[in-house]
Amino acid sequence: MANIAYIRVSAQDQNTGRQHQCFDNAHINLDKIFEEKVSGKNITDRPQLKEMMAYLREGDVLYIESISRLARSTSDFLNMMKALSAKKV
């Protein structure tokens, strides 16, 4: 079992520090972080998200700072949850 984080901001000039700080403040020890600076509008255009989904294994715990970092639409979020549940994450 590993603690995995997905951190995303929408533009190159934005800072991911707030999301990192969120996990630090909660004393969450992360084993691996997938981080990218890309719009969340289209989940197919997010290479780190794809890599993370391939990396996750049964028993892993996925941490996100907010739902909007993972998905921008309800349908994308629900599809992501189905995929994670199928992997037993």
CATH number at residue 30: 3.40.50.1390
Q: Answer yes or no: 10 catalytic.
A: yes
pTM for the full model?
0.91
First to last CA, the chain: 9
Active-site entry in 10, 66, 68, 85: 10
Q: How confident is the prediction along the chain (89 residues), in pLDDT tens digits per residue?
A: 999 999 999 989 899 999 999 999 999 999 999 999 988 888 888 999 999 999 999 999 999 999 999 998 999 999 999 999 999 99
Q: How many angstroms separate the CA atoms of 60 and 40, rounded?
A: 23
Instruction: Count other C-beta atoms under 10 Å from residue 37's C-beta.
Output: 15
3-state secondary structure of 33: strand
Structural domain that includes position 44: 3-86
Burial call 47-74: b when 16+ CB within 10 Å, e when fewer: ebbeebbeebeeebebbbbeeebbbeee
Number of domains making up the chain: 1
